[in-house]
Amino acid sequence: MRKIFVLKFLLLSVLSLLVVGCGYKPSSKYSREVVGEKISTSVIISAQDPENTVIIKDAVDAAIVEIFHASLTTKDYSDTHLTISISPPRYAPIQYNADGYVVGYRATISLVIQRQTGKTTKNYKTSGTYDFSIAPNAVVTDQDRFDAIKFSSIKAIASFVATVSAEGSRKK
């Protein structure tokens, strides 16, 4: 039993040294080099679908904390301000049952994100998708729609973070 513990410890130690020795940095570190430690956000309210704006604002704020590992703050104290506008969500049928009824949809959200860091302003266009199923011959419920918007916007934000991380890694 003790030999197994020692072998596991040695294996973990060797793997840790390899990862640290190769200069690995998580992508959040690269993205923080671009956007800084303090971020503020604002979402432009869509006159066509104001309910979705709240969902996207919550998803953006959660993604910033989780992915960027940065603090949310007001615009006056932020290193970077993100202004996000959303296009109306699109729903496309992707799966039908044997009777021809739609049982699966793909929601697509497109976001335009304007990043203001100091005097630098840059625009990004990103999108995210989310697949969900419904009962045959049923309508898409509000809960299905809200979940689809939330999860597809999280994917769109993750795509934005990947782009920003790539910018940070190129600066080195």
> Domain ranges in the chain?
27-171
Q: What is the pLDDT of residues 107-136, one digit of tens each?
A: 999 999 999 988 889 999 999 999 999 888
Helix axes 27-35, 142-171, angle to 10 degrees: 80
Q: What is the pLDDT of residues 11-66, one digit of tens each?
A: 787 777 766 666 666 666 666 777 778 888 888 877 777 777 777 777 777 777 77
CATH of 27-171, one of 3.40.50.1820, 3.30.160.150, 3.40.109.10, 3.30.70.980: 3.30.160.150
Question: CB–CB of 31/168 below 8 Å?
Answer: yes
Q: Locate the DSSP E strands across 22-119.
A: 38-44, 71-72, 80-86, 90-96, 102-117
Name the residue among 40, 27, 42, 33 with its Cα closest to residue 111: 42
pTM of the model: 0.75
